[in-house]
Structure 1
Amino acid sequence: MRVVVAPDSFKGSITADDAARALARGWLAHRPGDDVRLLPLADGGEGTVDAFAAALPQAERRAATVPGPDGRAVTAAWLLLPDGTAVLELAQSSGLPLMAAPDPLGAHTYGLGAVARAALDAGATRLVVGLGGSASTDGGTGALRALGLRLRDAQGRDLPLGGAALADLAEIDATDLLPVPPGGVQLLVDVTAPLTGPSGAAAVYGPQKGAGPEDVALLDRALRRFAELAGGDPDQPGAGAAGGTAYGLATLWDTRIAPGAPAIAALVGLADALADADVLLTGEGRFDATSLTGKVVGSLLDAAGPTIRVGVAAGQVTGPVPASVSAAVSLVELAGSVDAALDIPASWLTEAGTVLADRLSRP
């Protein structure tokens, strides 16, 4: 049998690359003669750079030391592909796990812009930017300021970094903003939220970053003020991704927003891998109804079609499993508890690979 192993990362537990290797080990332990191809994926958030690196071994891994979301220095990896495309991910420079303590009002995306500038200085002619896992709700203004944008208040003073400061925005000065590279910039998002309102960046994702009700109200008001002056389309699906970073970059840096999971799958060659596949193995931390709304697993179910048998391994499987999934395995059920599954995820994924090999090889 020809098997493609294409999981997402299990957030905070195991990378997509390591998850793919573990699933493959388990499959081959049961069916050692099968042709197994590894194609770890991502949806624009954590693991985007690693997904490209695993699929494109000719890519050159680089790193830049930049200010993190709370100003402390962090080192963010990025890739330079042979065609001049640079692949970045916000999570490495401006992600929530990089914060020493939550700061929903002051956290920023300056580091993302600094990585983008480093890539352009290195000769990149096109950027692919994974947006996900942001620590901030600053509308991408931190990243834009690293690229040369200036934001001022009514007295002509530069605003401090962070989303809350945008409530005092009076002037946007793009005079020194770096031009978009000739090949353009593609933003990969994993949500469809607009910039503001009850379904927007502050209301939906602000609490995950430590924002209380008053903070959410302030940040939403600040993003509205930013949109009043910047223009663009704050209601575009995905504009609210990464605390509104998608909106800010799309509006002021002429970039393009795209759903991350299918875009990454296309860029790393999923269609070719599935062309002669019999089985597709995928997985993520939690498999539930939201998995089918633009995430890696949902996009793979669409890509597999009716002829490829699909197996899913997930930390937890909740709700009904769709008919398009031939077999699903929960690591928590295998391990006996959440803590046990999180303790050695690679071992349980290997076990899951063996279970799926047995189930999917039956008539």
Structure 2
Amino acid sequence: MKFLLAPDKFRGSLTAEEVCSAMAEGIRLVLPAADIIMLPMADGGEGTAEILTFDANGTMLTTPVADPLGKNIQATYGISADGATAFIEMASASGLRLLEPHERNPCLTSTFGTGQLILEAIQRGATRIILGIGGSATTDAGMGMATALGWQFWDAEGQLLEPNGKNLIKIHKIVRPTNFPQIQVEVACDVTAPLYGIGGAAQLYAPQKGATPEMVAQLDKGLKHLADLVKKDFGLDLAHVPGAGAAGGLGFGALFFLGATLKEGVKIVMEQTHFAEKLEGVNWIFTGEGKIDEQTLQGKLIAGIANAAQSRGIPVVALCGALLVSPEDIRRIGLSYATSIINRPMTLDEAIANAYNGVKDASQQLTHLFCKTSKRLFQK
């Protein structure tokens, strides 16, 4: 019997690699000779760069950058074995998690550090970048990122502007860098928000980053001003491209400053890991994540795996810590079965500490059940 193990991380307890190991251990308690392919996965958010770097036989690197408020920190990114592709998460340099609650202010924060990561990768020889943009602390439409890459933003008095959200409204002239190398950029983006207006980067997301109502109004005006300037001076109307408002407008910034394409995170990960090719001869797919809830139903990793497997008739089972959807929902996204690894009352701390054994035990029980109820598959 052949198994493909393709889980996401269990946030706060297990990495995707650890989930794979626990699943494999449980399966082999029932089928010691099982053919097991371990394929740690991610959906474009936190952990994606590491997953894709691992799959590309690459190396994770650390480099000094500026955090969202300009303080020096160490950030990581990945580079493929051949050096051609870099895997970058903007949250590593410009993420909300880098700031204390009292420091959060999207009028002052900047994506400059993300631009430093991109520049570092280019200087190492990368010609292709896969950029994850979840978890931002910023609403600067990529102005900071662009500044780090050599773009200049001038105000009406001929002064260079500091790249942050509050200065978007002051931009009078944008100057491209000279001799910027040609690179291919794919952005993992699961948000479809426009750049500005109702449901845009400021109105929908800036309050989560510390913005007051007054800040939201200021930022929204700044985002619209930038979009209008880009349309007037460069002939590009990008503000309402789905995803332009992602990560405080970094989706827009990636489109304009980098010539990027925006794609669903799970699709990028599945393409990079050659997921479809690995389905050949597979009898069962085990996947999972820390919580299966409404977001799972909206096209993230588990739904993407189930959709890919469905055309080949491969059953998919999912393990999780918290199972918060109905059996009808489980079937609707193409799963054959889903179950929590928590098999008795316990506190959150106990659940986290017991996560590895919980995944192992659930995998063992499921494999035993499959073998008992499906002789045809067992004989394979």
**Amino-acid identity (%):** 34
Local SS of the residue matching 1:322: helix
2:324 matches 1:322: no
Output the TM-score relative to the length of structure 1.
0.91
Q: Which residue of 2 aligns with 1:278?
A: 283
Q: Which amino acid aligns with 2:355?
A: P
User: What is the Cα deviation at residue 146 of structure 1?
Assistant: 0.6
Unaligned 5+ segments in structure 1 are: none
Rounded to whole Å, the distance in 1 between the matches of 2:3 and 2:285 is: 6
Rounded to whole Å, the distance in 2 between the matches of 1:11 and 1:198 is: 31
Local SS of the residue matching 1:155: coil
Local SS of the residue matching 1:286: strand
Rounded to whole Å, the distance in 2 between the matches of 1:11 and 1:142 is: 29
Rounded to whole Å, the distance in 1 between the matches of 2:348 and 2:206 is: 26
Cα separation, partners in 2 of 1:197 and 1:25, compared to 1, 3 Å: farther
Q: Which amino acid aligns with 1:149?
A: W
User: What is the Cα deviation at residue 177 of structure 1?
Assistant: 7.5
Rounded to whole Å, the distance in 1 between the matches of 2:34 and 2:189 is: 35
Local SS of the residue matching 1:41: coil
User: For the Cα contact (< 8 Å) 2:50–2:78, is it kept in 1?
Assistant: no
Cα separation, partners in 2 of 1:73 and 1:289, compared to 1, 3 Å: same
Cα separation, partners in 2 of 1:262 and 1:195, compared to 1, 3 Å: same
Matches within 5 A, 1:1-363: 1-57=1-57, 59-81=58-80, 82=82, 84-100=84-100, 101-176=103-178, 178-181=180-183, 184-231=184-231, 232-305=237-310, 307-320=313-326, 321-323=329-331, 324-331=334-341, 336-361=346-371, 362-363=373-374
Local SS of the residue matching 2:238: coil
Q: Name the count of aligned residue pairs.
A: 360
Rounded to whole Å, the distance in 2 between the matches of 1:216 and 1:334 is: 45
Rounded to whole Å, the distance in 2 between the matches of 1:312 and 1:92 is: 29
User: What is the Cα deviation at residue 331 of structure 1?
Assistant: 4.2
Cα separation, partners in 2 of 1:39 and 1:84, compared to 1, 3 Å: same
User: For the Cα contact (< 8 Å) 1:335–1:348, is it kept in 2?
Assistant: no
Encode CA deviations 1:57-98: one digit per residue, 9 max, x unaligned.
2x2332221111222222222222216112212122222211
User: Alignment RMSD, CA only?
Assistant: 2.2
**Higher mean displacement: 88-97 or 197-206:** 197-206
Encode CA deviations 1:175-196: one digit per residue, 9 max, x unaligned.
4483332xx1111112222222
Encode CA deviations 1:94-143: one digit per residue, 9 max, x unaligned.
22211233233222211111011111111112212122121212111111
Q: Which amino acid aligns with 2:297?
A: L
Rounded to whole Å, the distance in 1 between the matches of 2:208 and 2:354 is: 26
Local SS of the residue matching 1:148: coil
Rounded to whole Å, the distance in 1 between the matches of 2:13 and 2:359 is: 11
Cα separation, partners in 2 of 1:114 and 1:213, compared to 1, 3 Å: same
Cα separation, partners in 2 of 1:226 and 1:46, compared to 1, 3 Å: same
Encode CA deviations 1:29-62: one digit per residue, 9 max, x unaligned.
34333212111112222111111133232x2332
Cα separation, partners in 2 of 1:12 and 1:164, compared to 1, 3 Å: farther
Cα separation, partners in 2 of 1:124 and 1:274, compared to 1, 3 Å: same
User: What is the Cα deviation at residue 278 of structure 1?
Assistant: 1.2
User: What is the Cα deviation at residue 226 of structure 1?
Assistant: 1.6
User: What is the Cα deviation at residue 347 of structure 1?
Assistant: 3.5
Unaligned 5+ segments in structure 2 are: 232-236, 375-380
Rounded to whole Å, the distance in 2 between the matches of 1:304 and 1:200 is: 34
Cα separation, partners in 2 of 1:200 and 1:349, compared to 1, 3 Å: farther
User: For the Cα contact (< 8 Å) 1:335–1:341, is it kept in 2?
Assistant: no
**Higher mean displacement: 60-69 or 345-354:** 345-354
Rounded to whole Å, the distance in 2 between the matches of 1:177 and 1:105 is: 31
Q: Which amino acid aligns with 1:179?
A: P
Rounded to whole Å, the distance in 2 between the matches of 1:12 and 1:226 is: 38
Rounded to whole Å, the distance in 1 between the matches of 2:54 and 2:325 is: 32
Q: Which residue of 1 aligns with 2:377?
A: none
Q: Which amino acid aligns with 1:170?
A: H
